[in-house]
Chain A
Amino acid sequence: MLIYTLKRLLQAIPTLLIVITISFFLMRVAPGGPFDGERQLPPEIEANLMAAYHLDEPLPMQYLRYMGNLLQGDFGPSFKYKDFSVTELIMQGFPVSLEIGGLAILLALIVGLPLGIAAALKRNSTVDYMVMGTALTGIAVPNFVIAPIFALVFGVLLGWLPAGGWNGGALPNLVLPVVALSIQQIAYIARMMRASMIEVLGSHFIRTARAKGLNEGEVIWRHAIRPALLPVMSYLGPAIAGIITGSVVIEQIFGIPGIGRYFVQGALNRDYTLVMGTVVFYGVLIVLMNLIVDLLYSALDPQIRYDD
């Protein structure tokens, strides 16, 4: 297991290097630069700006400069948020996104898994149709529709919860963003769990278990659940990486200071260093999450073993 983990981590390094290089050059290909804004600058001032940020150097040289700094752990200063380094911005924003995203996934699992199981067990019944119908709505309705509705209804009209803001992570401020973010995940997880359970319940070893005379409870909870969780697990790996790096929409609508907006705003602002920083960060997270998922696989499915 340990050797497998180490091998995977080593393999990740060339992958990350390729990702970083492609992202770097891709960002520069996009027309427009960090200083192309409504206020058009006189040429001398523009020259000063480009020089201050080394943007007047040939591109390969800028790349080497960036990689050199990266290897020393320096992501550089943000082009747009000049009083902060990229590291500071990510370190300040990530815990917030992690909290919102983590709670959303937790909520999604707590609600989605039982719903999926119930729907699978009571297949083609009213319960099943209701769960699946709601799940379909949850997947189809985008969260930039749900989130403002939540803010309007629960924040403005009913006044039960704040309409936005982080407020240091106070509980009332967490509720709406977490719920809004989790709805789509609940829907996906419920559907996946249902499909997976149905498949597992029809497999040979379950028939054997029933033939052996085990009661239904044992069949489901001791034998069916674990293999049924496998597809959900593969989905969760990258999904968690995606969610904990923040949802742009949720963060923007509720004013949450996470790192989600850096991905999009960074690109729109042509904030090269910030975008590169978030790309590296996200890349590392994906590698880690995939590794964790694969390790959990072997815990769930005794047929899967590494290092042999």
Chain B
Amino acid sequence: MISKHHKMMSRYLLAALGGIALGAMAVPAQAFTVDIANGAEPGSLDPQKTSGVWETRITRALFERLVTYAADGSLVPGLAEHWEISDDGKQYTFHLRDAEWSDGEPITADDAVFALRRVLEPAIANQNANLYYPIVNARAINAGEKSPDTLGVEAVDAHTLRIRLTQPTAWFLQALAMTEASPLPEHVLANADDGWIKPGDTVSSGVFTLSQWQPQSRIVVTRNPHYYDADQVSVDEAVFYPIDDANAALNRFRTGEMDIAYSSVPSSRFAWARENLGDALRVGPLTAEYFYMFNLHDGQPLADRRVREALNLAVRRDVITDQILGQGQTPSFWYVPRNTANAPRGDLDFADMTMDERMARAKALMQEAGYGPDHPLRLRLNYNTLEDHKKIAVAVAAMWKPLGVEVELINSEAAVHYATIREGNFEVARYGMVATINDPFDFLNAYADNGSASQSSGYHDADYDALVAKSTRELDPQKRRQLMTRAQQRLLDGYALLPLYDYVSVHLVSPAIQGWEINPMDVHPLRYLQESEQ
């Protein structure tokens, strides 16, 4: 017989249990946190002081641009809802949507004007400022010759931004998608420029705000409720870990600590990863080119075009991509990576010859140039420290040997290697060029008048320069492609360089994450990530 006391107790117990059950249903589902192995510690999270993807991955999450990237890397409206480009291509008018900063202040066209002026200020020393030179007076401002308020940008009203260019520029919209062009909170920066990026305090416009930054340990970004599309975003929090050792990142991915691990498969573990990590391994083409830069200055052994052609003929690129690297890189007979948007066509003219034919021609050319068994060509081949660079250099040296070329391999650490190139102190130097915008301009411009590759290598061709300049002004994509193809062909016909392969990106993504897409620009906005249905 249950006593009255016990009856009361059981009722209370039931009530308590019921309350707990109701409470449990009211408690929100567990927060969706994404842990990301991000490669290196950011040098800065100021979007105008960044220099690499490990930084822009984070700054793109914190700061929205006028135009932004979709999950597949294409351009879509960002802070600008729509825009018009004048018929002559020299005027852009952007109509901004209603949006606010994470401190509640409205985002206006003045913030965009402020940001574009700032990115060209000499004191900021932005590394991609040249991508904004098409704006009226931009170049002079960046050289310190004019004041920033003469820049050809104006806020017609709070929601309308007008940008005037000196000439039509086919890729200009791409330049506005970069973090350098993010509108910045003028109301914060007008007062204090230094130290405005502080966890918990940074005023941002993007999908996330910066909530924690422990140097060398972790960077935490949390969902920004003021973001204009906040209710479409699944991710509550993302944590970036600066793990610069690829093996360590791979280990922590395997233990489940990391959901996404960027560039975390060392070359030597690639085959293993492909067998054991299955779907988690994401490999895709990258808009980046690996090539050997030649020094064409007068007096250099490679000033002779015949030698350059011979060296190009003798290299079996498929051996390098298939046997040495084996990650799906594409052997390259061109300069601009094939999967760049609107990439020029055309390749080195021997792409159809058999290897025997190529070697025969190469030897003939070397003889013509005056080299032979009693007069070998001695070349220095510089590369920066990395196991793969060394393997490739050794392979290429071996491929050149039958031509009577004796190669001295010079390995230097990165800073020395690039300083050597800049100073022109090389004969053949390994180089890698990664696109900053999804456009061939970045690559072609390097070899054009006053471009970095033109200066270092000594390649000067007025016709090439004219074609590149003309292609930049050409707004019709088809015509533009033809111009760029002609330009690239001049470069290739002159054998100005030795292209080796188009890069691939190799990342690890947990099957628990959806919405992460492979694309050539290698951009993976957190905004689109979702948890997989389990």
Residues of the A chain whose Cβ atoms lie less than 8 Å from the Cβ of B10: none
Chain B positions 5 through 18: 1 when the CB is less than 8 Å from some CB of chain A, otherwise 0: 00000000000000
Q: Shortest CB–CB separation between residue A96 and chain B, in angstroms?
A: 8
CB of A261 closer than 8 Å to a CB of B: yes
Which residues of chain B from 388 to 444 have any CB-CB distance to chain A below 8 Å in the complex? 413-422, 431-434, 436
Most chain A beta carbons < 10 A, residue from B41, B127, B420: B127
Given A43-B450, A45-B125: A36 in contact with B415 (beta carbons within 8 A): yes
| A51-B122, A269-B415 as given contacts; A45 in contact with B248, CB under 8 Å | no
A307 at the interface (CB under 8 A from B): no
Q: A32-B415, A261-B216 are in contact. Are A81 and B41 (CB under 8 A)?
A: yes
A36-B418 in contact (CB<8A): yes
B205 to chain A minimum Cβ distance, whole angstroms, is 18
Please tell me if the beta carbons of B422 and A40 are within 8 angstroms of each other in the complex: yes
Chain A residue nearest in CB terms to B216: A257
Residues of B within 8 A of A202 (CB): none
Of the 9-residue stretches B25-33, B251-259, B278-286, which lies at the interface with chain A? B251-259
Most chain B CB neighbours (cut-off 10 Å) among A40, A81, A93: A40
B385 to chain A, nearest CB (A): 10
Bound: A110/B58 CA distance, A: 44
- What is the distance, in angstroms, from A296's C-beta to the closest C-beta of chain B? 33
B300 at the A interface (CB under 8 A) = no
A226 touches B (CB below 8 Å): no
A127 at the interface (CB under 8 A from B): no
Does B44 lie at the interface of the complex (its beta carbon under 8 Å from any beta carbon of A)? Answer: yes
Minimum CB distance partner of A249 in chain B: B245
Interface residues of A in 61-96 (CB under 8 A from B): 80-84, 88-89, 92-93
Contact between chains at B126 and A155 (CB < 8 Å): no
Neighbouring B residues of A32 by C-beta, 8 Å: 413-419
Say yes or no for A231: interface residue by CB 8 A criterion.
no
Q: How far apart sit A253 and B251, CA to CA, in the bound complex (Å)?
A: 10
Give min CB distance, A153 to chain B, whole Å. Answer: 10
Find residues 117-163 in chain B having any chain A CB closer than 8 Å to their own CB.
122-127, 129-130, 139, 142-144
Size of chain B's interface in residues, with CB distance under 8 A? Answer: 60
**Number of A residues with CB within 8 Å of any CB on chain B:** 51
When C-beta atoms are compared, the residue in chain B nearest to A79 turns out to be B43
Q: Give the residues in chain B near A31, CB-CB below 8 Å.
A: 415-416, 419-420
Chain A residues positioned under 8 Å from B123 (CB to CB): 48, 52
A203: min CB distance to chain B, Å = 49
Residues in A134-168 with C-beta less than 8 Å from chain B:
148, 151-152, 155-156, 159, 162-166
Contact B142 A40 (CB under 8 A): no
Residues on A with beta carbons closer than 8 Å to the beta carbon of B243: 164, 255
Q: Enumerate chain A residues within 8 angstroms of B456, measured Cβ to Cβ.
A: 40
The CA of A196 and the CA of B517, in the complex, are separated in Å by: 63
**B51 CB within 8 Å of chain A:** yes
Inter-chain CA distance A227–B517, complex, in Å, is 67
Residues of A contacting B41 in the complex (Cβ-Cβ under 8 angstroms): 81
Measured between beta carbons, the chain A residues less than 8 angstroms from B436 are: 39
Smallest Cβ distance from A81 to chain B, in angstroms? 6
Closest to A258 in B: B216
Bound-state CA distance A151–B252 (Å) is 9
B139, B251, B415: which contacts A163 (Cβ < 8 A)?
B251
Whether A81 lies near B43 (C-beta < 8 A) is yes
Is residue B502 contacting chain A, with contact meaning CB distance below 8 A?
A: no
B217 contacts A166, C-beta separation under 8 Å? yes
Q: Given the complex, which residues of B lie within 8 Å of A37, measured CB to CB? A: 51, 414-415, 418
**Of A34, A148, A163, which one neighbours B252 at CB under 8 angstroms?**
A163
Shortest B184–chain A CB gap in Å is: 15
CB-CB under 8 A from A89, the residues of chain B are 215
Q: Answer whether residue A194 sits at the interface, using C-beta atoms and an 8 A cutoff.
A: no
Which among B214, B216, B257 has the greatest number of chain A C-beta atoms within 10 A? B216
Q: Give per-residue flags for A15-30: 1 if the beta carbon is below 8 A from chain B beta carbons, else 0.
A: 0000000000000001
Q: Which among B44, B451, B455 has the highest number of chain A CB atoms within 10 Å?
A: B44
Task: Report the separation of the CA atoms of residues A306 and B21 in the bound assembly, to the nearest whole angstrom.
Answer: 74
* Closest-CB distance, A48 to chain B (whole angstroms): 4
A252 part of interface (Cβ distance < 8 Å): yes
Q: Is the CB of B46 within 8 A of A148?
A: no
Cα of A152 to Cα of B197 in the assembled complex, Å:
36
Complex: how many Å from CA A113 to CA B453?
60
Q: How far is the CA of A81 from the CA of B44 in the complex (A)?
A: 6
Q: Given A33-B419, A40-B421, check contact A255 B127 (CB 8 Å).
A: no
Interface residues of B, Cβ cutoff 8 Å to A: 41-46, 49, 51, 122-127, 129-130, 139, 142-144, 195, 197, 214-217, 241-245, 247-248, 251-252, 254-255, 257, 413-422, 431-434, 436, 446, 450-453, 455-456
| 10 closest cross-chain pairs (CB), A and B | A32-B415, A40-B452, A257-B216, A32-B419, A257-B217, A82-B44, A48-B125, A36-B418, A49-B125, A163-B251
Apart from A44-B143, A252-B248, 17 more pairs, CB < 8 Å:
A31-B420, A32-B413, A39-B127, A42-B452, A43-B455, A48-B123, A51-B125, A52-B122, A81-B215, A92-B214, A151-B251, A162-B255, A163-B255, A255-B217, A257-B214, A268-B414, A269-B415
Chosen A-B contacts, 21 in total, with CB atoms closer than 8 Å, are A30-B415, A31-B415, A31-B419, A33-B415, A36-B418, A40-B421, A40-B452, A40-B453, A43-B450, A45-B129, A48-B123, A51-B122, A52-B122, A81-B42, A81-B44, A151-B248, A155-B255, A163-B252, A164-B257, A166-B214, A255-B217
Which positions in A face B, CB cutoff 8 Å?
A: 30-34, 36-45, 48-49, 51-52, 80-84, 88-89, 92-93, 148, 151-152, 155-156, 159, 162-166, 251-258, 261, 268-270
